[in-house]
């Protein structure tokens, strides 16, 4: 009975890990999968293999995957405001059309297997550009919405197409910036 | 004193500090009893490797000398080849059969330290490769 439950859980976890939309959750499910597998090895009387599986697959491999995700796959979006010291999460949620823009960018990131990370920052634009840590900066000045895309990122072209095609009614501008902080302005 | 990268990692830092002696003792236990209980050099070494990796999780610093670790690992590999050649293929193991257990424990220790250093090198190389 225990064996059947464990084996079914293994299959279930494997399917969840494959089907999950967010990569980080898939990695965590894979870690749980390995832990259950190591318990199953113990159940079958192979403690030696169980220890190796628990340490390697559940510990180190999960850590390696998470490090890899952190290095290359997190897409940082910073949201800043005219009155940048008073920026608040409510700005995004209340403005429905603007919220839709953010949601659409989020969907885009998920379809490209990126991990979207949206930050409402109290810093102003020049210091954000200086740091170069964000892939996309969205700045709102009253009705004007300006999107700054980091040229180092591979997905900048597709995102620009998406924003310009979809949001013509919104007062929206897409600007790229590169290593030397030169801004490449293009028609909205 | 090295500052943590993010201010809210103090929970991880404290828990890692508390777990440190237990990780050392458990890793050495698994290595030293590997010849007659489950475990052994590889498993114990992997547990010991968590020492350095946990340190990486708390402080993202690369002051750990990967080059020196590499040298020590290579030296351990040479010893790992030399000891069986001298003990098993020489006549020592037949002349002194009471040394067999000590030999097994010593080999497990060597393998454990080599695996610990190797996994640490792998993780550090991976983590600090192409660091932005």
B111 in Cβ contact with B47 (< 8 Å): no
Q: How far apart, in Å, do the first and last CA atoms of chain B sit?
A: 23
| Facing A67 at nearest CB: one of B42, B46, B127 | B127
Rounded to whole angstroms, the Cα distance separating A115 from B119 reads: 27
- Domain final residue, candidates A46, A71, A96: A71
User: With a cut of 0.85, is the ipTM above it?
Assistant: no
| B112/chain A closest Cα distance in angstroms | 13
Chains A–B, number of C-beta pairs less than 8 Å apart: 37
Domain of residue A17, residue span: 2-71
**Same domain, residue pair A174 and A137:** yes
| Facing B46 at nearest CB: one of A48, A56, A64 | A56
Q: How many CB atoms lie within 10 A of CB B21?
A: 9
**Same domain, residue pair A181 and A111:** yes
Is B96 domain-assigned? yes
**Same domain, residue pair A58 and A87:** no
**Same domain, residue pair A79 and A143:** yes
**Same domain, residue pair A27 and A12:** yes
**Same domain, residue pair A18 and A96:** no
- Domain final residue, candidates A29, A49, A71: A71
Contacts of A48 in chain B (CB under 8 A): 38-40, 43
Rounded to whole angstroms, the Cα distance separating A55 from A49 reads: 10
Window A:56-95, CB contacts with B under 8 Å: 56, 59-60, 63-64, 67-68, 71
Domain of residue B27, residue span: 7-128
Count of domains in chain A?
2
Do the bridges between strand A172-177 and strand A144-150 make them parallel or antiparallel, or are there none, so unpaired?
A: parallel
Is B111 domain-assigned? yes
pLDDT of residue A44: 92
Rounded to whole angstroms, the Cα distance separating A174 from A184 reads: 9
- Domain final residue, candidates A47, A71, A95: A71
Is B1 domain-assigned? no
Query: Is pLDDT at A83 greater than 50 in this prediction?
Result: yes
CB within 8 Å: A48 and B43: yes
Is B2 domain-assigned? no
Tokens describing residue A53: 């599986």
Is B88 domain-assigned? yes
Contacts of B124 in chain A (CB under 8 A): none
**Same domain, residue pair A79 and A168:** yes
Q: Which range among A138-147, A153-162, B52-61, B94-103 has the greatest average pLDDT? A: B94-103
| Facing B126 at nearest CB: one of A48, A56, A64 | A64
Query: Is pLDDT at A56 greater than 70 in this prediction?
Result: yes
Structure confidence at residue B129 as a pLDDT band (50, 70, 90): low
Strand-pairing partners, residue A172, are: A145
Tokens describing residue B76: 């351990």
**Same domain, residue pair A18 and A91:** no
């Amino acid at each position: 009975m225990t064996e059947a439950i464990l084996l079914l859980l293994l299959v279930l976890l494997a399917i969840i890990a494959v089907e999950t939309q967010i990569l980080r959750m898939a990695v965590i499910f894979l870690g749980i999968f390995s832990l259950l597998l190591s318990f199953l090895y113990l159940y079958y009387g192979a403690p030696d293999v169980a220890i190796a599986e628990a340490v390697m697959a559940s510990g180190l491999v999960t850590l390696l995957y998470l490090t890899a995700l952190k290095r290359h796959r997190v897409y940082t979006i910073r949201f800043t405001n005219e009155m940048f010291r008073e920026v608040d999460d409510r700005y995004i949620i209340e403005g429905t059309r603007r919220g839709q823009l953010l949601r659409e960018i989020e969907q885009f990131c998920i379809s490209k297997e990126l991990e979207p990370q949206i930050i409402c920052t109290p810093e102003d634009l020049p210091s954000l550009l200086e740091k170069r840590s964000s892939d996309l900066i969205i700045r709102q000045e009253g009705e004007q919405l300006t999107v700054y895309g980091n040229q180092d990122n591979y997905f900048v072209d597709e995102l620009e197409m998406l924003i310009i095609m979809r949001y013509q009614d919104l007062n929206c501008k897409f600007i790229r910036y590169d290593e030397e902080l030169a801004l490449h302005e293009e028609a909205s | 004193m090295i500052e943590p990268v993010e201010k809210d990692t103090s929970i991880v830092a404290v828990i890692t500090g508390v777990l440190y002696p237990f990780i050392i003792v458990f890793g050495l236990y698994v290595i030293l009893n590997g010849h007659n209980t489950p475990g052994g050099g590889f498993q114990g070494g992997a547990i010991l490797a968590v020492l350095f990796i946990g340190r990486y999780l708390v402080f993202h610093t690369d002051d750990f000398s990967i080059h020196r670790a590499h040298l020590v690992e290579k030296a351990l590999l040479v010893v790992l080849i030399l000891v069986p050649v001298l003990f098993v293929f020489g006549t020592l193991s037949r002349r002194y059969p009471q040394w067999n257990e000590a030999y097994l424990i010593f080999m497990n220790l060597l393998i454990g330290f080599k695996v610990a250093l190797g996994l640490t090198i792998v993780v550090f190389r991976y983590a600090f490769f192409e660091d932005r």
